[in-house]
Amino acid sequence: MTGIVAMKGCRTCCAVVAALALAVAACSGDDELDRQGATDPVGTVDPPAMSPAISTPTAPSPSTTAATVTTSVDTTTTTTTTTTTTTTTTTTVAPTTTTEGQTSTTAPTVAETEVELGRSAEGRPITAIRRGTPGGTTVLVIGVIHGDEDAGTAIVEALRKLPVPAGIELWLVPSMNPDGQAAGTRQNANGVDLNRNFPTNWGPLGQPGDWQYAGIGPVSEPETKAMIALSEQVRPDLTLWYHQDLFRINPSTGVDGEIRRRYADLTGLPILEVSGGTYTGTASQWSRTIAAEGGIGFTVELGKRLSADGARQHAEAVLAVSGEL
Ligand SMILES: [Zn+2]
């Protein structure tokens, strides 16, 4: 059990601190086709069916459990202070230069904050890195959900190095399935397909170890709990989940469809339907329910391999579409 405090500045500044505590359990897995086709229609998502073990104080709690990050911003004086009490978090705060006339619009830039969201079943940390403008357009990127599909980690690494355009708040999770990644399996250490374990449209599927085993219930896995807790805290406007190796992005409609097409254009991926599985409890469906106003969340199916240039191209595409939200 690990507690973290994630913070998100309000859009007009002032002090905002939120706290959450999560639990994380096990993992282990195998390969996949993350199809979200006919059984994953946009707009038919159900509200989250459960409440993960999250503690979310509404008032600032400067120091609680394992990781605590507190940011205080005074818009009048544009001073920013940050204190961090955690063994896993390093925080650098670089206040944006304030010039006359911009006092009310500038926001501090957090160069990088790393927090531990929780632990996998085998005790591996699941971490998130925050970059960019607190309170900006919030974008969450998950490099790995299926342990044997880890090309997305290179995209996360590229996103840690590129400058983040003003107005974008990035949350980067290199891997939400470190045990599956270590074992080279799709599932977590409990044999659960984490991409069938989310609460939206969850349904029982398979047996432990099956490629689509959905777990004993929605959000039964610590890795799922960790991601839900983070998402409920930061409410991303856009969530991207990387998979392999179908080399496509599933089509969608509305703004969600436009962003997918834009991302596809920037990366050379075709827009093609993903099909062949049972798409209950998928992460991308759930992530479209999390934002206050029409959240966008989709799976990017990379190819079998991703070059360094390809990873950078994807990272630049993430930033580009984020700036267009
Ligand atoms: Zn996958």
What are the pLDDT tens digits along the chain (325 aa)?
333 433 333 333 323 233 343 333 333 332 333 344 333 333 333 333 333 333 333 333 333 333 333 333 333 333 333 333 233 344 433 333 333 333 334 445 556 899 999 999 999 999 999 999 999 999 999 999 999 999 999 999 999 999 999 999 999 999 999 999 999 999 999 999 999 999 999 999 999 999 999 999 999 999 999 999 999 999 999 999 999 999 999 999 999 999 999 999 999 999 999 999 999 999 999 999 988 677 899 999 999 999 999 999 999 999 999 999 9
Question: Please, what is the angle between helix 308-322 and helix 152-161, to 10°?
Answer: 60
Ligand 1 centre distance from Cα of residue 18 (Å) = 31
What is the Å distance from ligand 1's center to 221 Cα? 17
Ligand 1: centre distance to CA 246 (Å): 9
Distance CA 86, CA 65 (A): 8
For the beta carbon of residue 217, count every other beta carbon within 10 angstroms: 14
Q: 193: CA distance to ligand 1 center in Å?
A: 9
In the structure encoding, which two tokens stand for residue 72, read together?
């205080």
Span from the CA of 48 to the centroid of ligand 1 (angstroms): 22
103 alpha carbon – ligand 1 mean position (Å): 45
| Cα–ligand 1 centroid distance for 90 (angstroms) | 31
How close is the Cα of 231 to the center of ligand 1, in Å? Answer: 20
Q: Cβ distance 169 to 184 under 8 Å?
A: no
Q: Give phi and psi for 112, each to the nearest 5.
A: -170, 130
Q: Tell me which residue of 177, 172, 175 sits closest to 193, measured CA to CA.
A: 177
Six-digit token pair at 312?
A: 């950078």
Which of 262, 296, 248, 213 shows the shortest CA–CA distance to 35?
248
- 179, 26 contact by CB (below 8 A): yes
- Joined together, the tokens standing for residue 301 give 């199916």
Report CA(149)–ligand 1 centroid distance (Å).
6
| Dist CA 111 CA 287 (whole Å) | 25
Shortest CA distance to 124 belongs to which of 31, 226, 210, 198? 226
Report the pLDDT value the prediction gives residue 112, as an integer from 0 to 100. Answer: 86
Token couple for 14: 């002032």
Length of the chain as a residue count: 325
Which of these, 1, 4, 9, 35, lies nearest to 19 by C-alpha position?
Answer: 4
Going by the DSSP 8-state scheme, the letter that residue 163 receives in this structure is P
177 CA distance to ligand 1 middle (Å): 11
- In whole angstroms, what is the distance from residue 49 CA to residue 227 CA? 15
Going from the Cα of 243 to the center of ligand 1, the distance in angstroms, rounded, reads 4
How far is ligand 1, taken at its centre, from the CA of residue 300, in Å?
9
197 CA distance to ligand 1 middle (Å): 13
* Distance between first and last Cα of the chain: 35
Q: How far is the CA of 302 from the centre of ligand 1 (A)?
A: 10
The model scores a pTM over 0.85: no
Question: How many other CB atoms are found less than 10 A from the CB of residue 284?
Answer: 28
Instruction: Assess whether the previous peptide bond of 245 is cis (omega < 30° from 0).
Output: yes
